[in-house]
Amino acid sequence: RREFANIPPGPKPWPVVGNFGGFLVPAFIRRRFGQQSEDSRDKNPLVSLTELANVYGNVYSLFVGSQLVVVLNGYEVVRDALSNHRKVFSDRPDVPTINIMTKRKGIVFAPYGPVWTVQRTFCHTKLRNVGLGKLSLEPCIQQGLAIIKTELLRLNEESGGSGVDLAPLISNSVSNVICSLILGQRFHHEDHEFRTIVDLMARGLEICVSSPAVLINIFPQLYHLPYGVFKELRQVERDITVFLKRIIAMHQETLDPEKPRDLTDMYLIEILSQEADGKKDSSFTEDYLFYIIGDLFIAGTDTTANSVLWILLYMVLHPDIQDKVQTEIDEVLGPHRAPSYTDKGSLRFTEATIMEVQRLTTVVPLAIPHMASATAEFRGYTIPKGTVVLPNLWSVHRDPTVWDDPDSFNPTRFLDSEGKLLRKECFIPFGIGHRKCMGEQLAKMELFLTVTSLLQAFKFRLPEGTPPPPLHGRFGLTLAPFPYTVCVSLRR
C-alpha cells in the first residue's frame, strides 16, 4: 500500500491491529494478569517513536488497525506541517471512543471549519483576559494556593517524614480554576458536586484513552457490550450528560445579562444576542456549550496539574536550581509579598526554569491528533485525505539541530548574556498553528503563580532514602510524572 500511494515509509504493521499490536497486546496482558510492569518504568514510547525517525526519516507512517497515521518529527518538519501547510493539517480525526464523549462538537475534537472557527474565536477572546479582564482568575488561583500551603504543612507533619503526595492537592487546585472559569465558583475539595465532576471527567478520559475500551476504535461494536469497562463507559457518558445539563439549566435560571459570572454566562448571553439578531442557523446553542464545558475540563486540568508536578519534581532533583529560583524570588518579592502575574517580567530565572522543565517533559507530547482534510503533497510524500497526523512535540524539544545538548537540564538556555528571557521558536509545549492550545495564557499564569508561591514558602526535598522516580514519565494523552512524595520545610 505504501509503495503504490507514495505514502511515507514505516515499519511493517501486524495484521488487524497494525503497528500498535507490538505494545498494546503485551501491555494488556500485563494489566490483565496484574504484573505491575517494572519494564514499563524503563521504556518510554516517545523515545521509541522518535528513534523510528532515525530509521525511516522525520516523516514516517504507522498503522493503527487499518488507519494510516503519519508521525512528524523534529522542529523543521513539525513547523512546516503546522505553519506552512496549516490549512490541510488542522482537522481532527474521527475517533470512535472520543466521539462517544464529544460528538465532534466543542473545540478540541471539532472538525476544522467555520463552526470551529467561530466557537474557538469566541472562547479564546473571553479567555485571553484571564489575567486582567472580566474573567480575571488570578484571585481564584491565589486562593487555591493558600489552601495548598496550609494542607501541605499539615500533611507533611502527619507523614512523619515519609513525604506528601502533591498530586491530589495540585489537581484540586487546578480543577477549581476551571470550575471558577465555567461555574463561577470554587469548591471545597470534598464538596460532593466538585468531586462528582472532577472524578467523572477523569474517569471518562481514562477509559477512552488507556483502557481496553480503546479497542472500540478498531471494533466499534464493542461499545455495546453489556459488561466491564464498556458498560462503565456508557454509564460515565450518561452521568456527565446529566451533570452538565444541570449546570447549564442552573445558569439559565439565574442569568443576569448585565453581570456575567463566568464563561457559561457569557456563552448564554451570546446565544440570546444571536437569537435577538434573528440568526437562525447560529452555532451558538446550549448543545454546543455542553461540549465546550466538557472540553475545558479535559484540556485544562491534567495538562496544568502534570506540568506543576514535573516542575516541583525537577526542583527536588536539582536543589541548586531550586536555591537559585528562591534567591531570585527573595530578591524580587521578599519574604511576604504574594507573587502576582505582573512579576513575571522580573522573575526571569524562575520563568526560564519553568520553560526548561516544560521543554524536557512536553506534557502533551504528541499534541492532540490532527488529520489531513484533503490529500496533500508534503516533503516528497503523498498524505491521503483522512490520514491521522501526529506532530511529535516531544521530538521537537529534543531535536539536536535546534537545541544544544538537548537531554540536559539547563534553564539558562532560555536566557541571554544579560539574563533577559529568550523567546525560542522551537519551544512549543502548547503546539503551533491553527490548533495551538486555547488556554495557553491561563496555563502560563497558573504555572507561574503556583511555582513562585510554593517555592517562596517552602524548601522541597525527597524523603530520606527515597530513590527518585524515573524521569521519562507515564505516557497517556498527557505525560505525567510517576507518583512521588516530597518533604517540605518552611523557609521562614
Asked if 395 touches ligand HEM (CB under 6 A), the answer is no
Instruction: Please say which residue, 261 or 436, places its beta carbon nearer to ligand HEM.
Output: 436
Interacting residues of 114 by C-beta distance below 8 A, sequence separation 6+: none
Asked if residue 255 lies in contact with residue 268, where contact means CB atoms within 8 angstroms, the answer is: yes
DSSP 106-155: SSTTSPSSHHHHHHHHHHHHHHHTTTTSTT--HHHHHHHHHHHHHHHHHH
Which residue of the chain is nearest ligand HEM when measured via CB?
Answer: 439
Report the residue from 144, 411, 429, 473 that binds ligand HEM according to the rule CB under 6 A: 429
| Calpha distance 477→437 (Å, rounded) | 14
- x/- letters, 362..391, toward ligand HEM (CB under 6 A): -xx--xx----------------------x
Whose CA is closest to 205, among 215, 214, 196?
214
Give the CB-side neighbour count of residue 169, counting CA atoms within 13 A: 24
Residue 442 binds to ligand HEM (criterion: CB under 6 A) = yes
168/217 Cα distance (integer angstroms): 31
In the complex with ligand HEM, the residue whose CB is nearer, 268 or 364, is 364
Q: Is 304 in the site for ligand HEM (CB under 6 A)?
A: yes
Q: Are 284 and 271 in contact (CB under 8 A)?
A: yes
| Cell digits of residue 491 | 523557609
Q: To the nearest whole angstrom, how small is the minimum distance from the Cβ of residue 135 to ligand HEM? A: 11
To the question of whether residue 208 is assigned a binding role by annotation, the answer is no
Site for ligand HEM in 328-367 (CB under 6 A): 363-364, 367
How far apart CA 474 and CA 492 sit, in angstroms, is 35
Using CB under 6 A, which of the segments 22-30, 42-50, 408-416, 430-438 binds ligand HEM? 430-438
Sign of torsion, CA 435 392 198 32? Answer: positive
Please report, as residue ranges, which positions from 283 to 302 form the binding site for ligand HEM (by CB under 6 A).
295-296, 299-300
Instruction: Specify the amino acid at residue 145.
Output: L
Q: Does 443 bind ligand HEM (CB under 6 A)?
A: yes
Cβ proximity to ligand HEM: between 448 and 484 the closer is 448
Query: Could you tell me the three cell numbers for 201?
Result: 471527567
Q: Which is nearer to ligand HEM, 156 or 301 (CB)?
A: 301
Residue 137 to residue 180: CA distance in whole angstroms: 8
Are the CB atoms for 480 and 474 separated by under 8 Å?
yes
Stretch that binds ligand HEM, among 66-74, 139-147, 238-246, 432-440 (CB under 6 A): 432-440
Whole-angstrom Cα distance, residue 352 to residue 329? Answer: 13
The residue range among 12-20, 198-206, 427-435, 455-463 that interacts with ligand HEM, by the rule CB under 6 A, is 427-435
**Shortest CB 111 distance to ligand HEM, Å:** 10
Least Cβ distance, residue 443 to ligand HEM (angstroms): 4
If one asks whether residue 79 binds ligand HEM (CB under 6 A), the answer comes out as no
CA distance 117 to 331: 44
Task: Choose, by CB under 6 A, the member of 435, 448, 450, 452 that binds ligand HEM.
Answer: 435
Q: Where are the beta strands (DSSP E) in 367-407?
A: 370-371, 376-378, 381-383, 388-391
- Total number of residues that touch ligand HEM (CB under 6 A): 25
Select from 102, 303, 395, 450 the one that contacts ligand HEM (CB under 6 A): 303
Question: Which CB atom, from 149 or from 359, has the smaller least distance to ligand HEM?
Answer: 359
> Residue 121 or 273: which CB sits closer to ligand HEM?
121
Q: Which residues bind ligand HEM (CB under 6 A)?
A: 107-108, 120, 295-296, 299-300, 303-304, 307, 363-364, 367-368, 391, 429-431, 435-439, 442-443
Binding residues: 437
Residues marked as binding for heme? Answer: 437
